[in-house]
Each structure stands twice: as structure tokens, then as C-alpha cells.
Amino acid sequence: QVQLVESGGGLVLPGGSLRLSCAASGLTFSNNAMGWFRQAPGKEREFVAFMSWSGGHTYYADSAKGRFTISKDNAKNTVYLQMNSLKPEDTAVYYCAVRGGVYRYIDAGQYNYWGQGTQVTVSS
């Protein structure tokens, strides 16, 4: 059974940083593509960041470029999202997602497995 567990969310001041983690069991990250998404109250879930199965290709939403970095540790079967220079508009529940395949996947409907989400609140 595949399970993804996010952690690392919390309350942070504007301009601050957080690192989200997503630990997987039941699958091997080295064989799967990974994505981070977020959903703010009253809004649809939106793409944030993507990493290919090899780790050699990453892709970011315009809102995340230059501020967020996706990475993974295959030995720990964990994917990370480092978020810097956080803004109030980054406030949302953040989800990690996993799927097999060799392409770039930025649509939530393309992912098979999801974590439960972790709340990120950016506020003074």
C-alpha cells in the first residue's frame, strides 16, 4: 500500500522559509515522478513544482520560480520542497503527489498517489 506523509508546514512570517518533506512508503521514489501542489481556501488545487523520476528535470510554476526548490533523497524515499521568501499568497495546504512515467506532469489529475497535506500559513 502506497502512503505519502507530508510534514514541515507551519506559521511563518513574510520573507521567511520553510522546508516541506514528503516521506513515501510502498513505492520507490527513484522510479517515480513527483510533484508538489497547493490549495488555498476557496481555490482549486494548483501545481507548484515537479521533479522527474531521475531527478534530472525540474519544473516550477511561475509563482514558485526563484523561491522554491524541489529535491529528493532516494535513500530516504523522501521528496522536499524548500520555500524561501514566502509571501502571504503562498498560504495554502501543500500536497505531494507521485506517479510513474517519464514525462513532465503538472496537472493534478495525472497523479496516482497523494499525501494528506500540510498547512503553510504566511502571516505577520
* pLDDT value, residue 27: 87
Give residue 123's pLDDT.
97
User: Per-residue pLDDT averaged across 19-36, rounded?
Assistant: 91
pLDDT of 30 strictly over 80: no
Q: Which tens digits make up the pLDDT trace of 64-116?
A: 999 999 999 989 999 999 999 999 999 999 999 999 888 889 999 999 999 99
Q: What is the pLDDT of residue 101?
A: 84
Sign of CA dihedral 83, 60, 65, 31: positive
49-64 pLDDT, tens per residue?
A: 999 999 899 999 999 9
Please give the C-alpha separations between residue 63 and each of 38, 52, 120, in angstroms, as whole numbers: 12, 20, 15
Residue tagged 510502498 (cell numbers):
26
Q: What average pLDDT does range 3-21 have in this prediction?
A: 97
pLDDT of residue 78: 94
Of the pLDDT bands very low, low, confident and very high (cuts 50, 70, 90), residue 29 is confident
Task: For residue 24, give the 3-state DSSP assignment.
Answer: strand
